A = this chain, B = another copy of it.
């Protein structure tokens, strides 16, 4: 090791932050309001409370509290897997022969295998506290569903997961883990909801999509007493809970006397990047020093780099509120060959607004081949087999480190390693067998998706 910075920097359990950070309190321009799809008026806590439990409805609309205390029960659960380590990528730096320092915050060291557990336990907790019977959700790759199943298992809450059928069929082990935590996993589209039954009329919809699964989960929650809906990304409440990643990262970097020049996160719905950047974005928004922020998305699902900043639904079934965000249209589905995750058609309204206003500095897209190539390298030199999602950030961190090699700059690069790739081995296999098509969506297919946007309301 080159100097006194350890390979892994841990905070103590007592240093786990006592509050989450709510970036909206510091944003100069708040994101445009979420709209109730029935009235096309800004949603109220009352509107949202039929979908989310009340405390979360309040968090969703909270623009004033910079810090939201983390209940003790949640902090106790966090101790099972937090503080997560901040890792100095010594081995990667060495093979890259870069003067840059590369750090990553590793969120995969829990059974769900990703950062999603940070918000799952919060959403389950508030549901339990409200005396609910259970929660519903959708899951694609299964990371969020597993996290929610764990959280519900812990609080003895009923957990109803709508899983995109093609994912469920490809990942029986993910289903089995959720079931081990007593979750009830339904393949979507299903005949348990009106939205599902409608989709099933056309056999072309059989494989399912995240958008349809969301619609099903929302419908079930709204129509069944004692249930509420939960979501693993996109929403403001999720970014609040995920802020723990960035808060811990900043504290850990202070311990080793560093501040990042660049912060890089993969971005699907925005939960990881929004979380990782939190404490540093607070610095930016309050006029202190700030890193350069980069969002990385798949070339197959390029909401920020090729989408439009517009009001759109968050789901195919149009049952969710409309959000102003970077979107490819709520009907957009990445090409079937896409195996790299991050398949949501839109982007967190907060991140969208920050990007629109220039606080989130840059969005990039990378191809599948690029991510699986660096994933293999990373696994070999740093030991951890990354989730394809995380590999988007690895790819960009490597690119930035190689730029430093050219310029001689000793930049401090921080990226989010959101999870492990254990359940993505079929995607890894397809990469090895040269079976991943990397043709990006055509301009026509992007235009077709955007043609689906609703009439733009004046908010």
Contact = CB atoms under 8 A, between A and B. Distances in A.
Given A153-B380, A181-B379, 19 more contacts: A1-B76, A10-B10, A80-B91, A80-B383, A81-B383, A109-B109, A111-B379, A154-B380, A172-B425, A172-B426, A173-B173, A173-B423, A176-B426, A176-B432, A177-B428, A179-B432, A180-B379, A180-B425, A422-B422
A79 interface: yes
| Interface residue SS majority, chain A | helix
B1 A12 contact: no
A382 B111 CA distance: 10
Interface of A: 1, 6-8, 10, 12-13, 76-77, 79-81, 91, 109-111, 113, 150, 153-154, 172-173, 176-177, 179-182, 376, 379-385, 420, 422-423, 425-426, 428-429, 432
Taken together, the copies of this chain in the complex come to 2
Contacts of A111: 379, 383-385, 420
B379 A428 contact: no
A66 to B, nearest CB: 28
* In the complex, the 7 A-B pairs of residues with the closest C-beta atoms, listed nearest first: A176-B425, A173-B425, A80-B383, A7-B79, A153-B380, A111-B385, A176-B429
B428 A176 contact: yes
A153 B378 CA distance: 11
A177 B383 contact: no
A114 to B, nearest CB: 13
B7 A385 contact: no
A432 B180 contact: yes
Residue from A180, A422, A429 whose CB has the most chain B CB atoms within 10 Å = A180
16 contacts: A1-B76, A6-B13, A7-B79, A80-B382, A113-B422, A153-B379, A172-B425, A172-B429, A173-B423, A173-B425, A177-B385, A177-B422, A179-B432, A180-B376, A180-B385, A180-B432
A413 B420 CA distance: 31
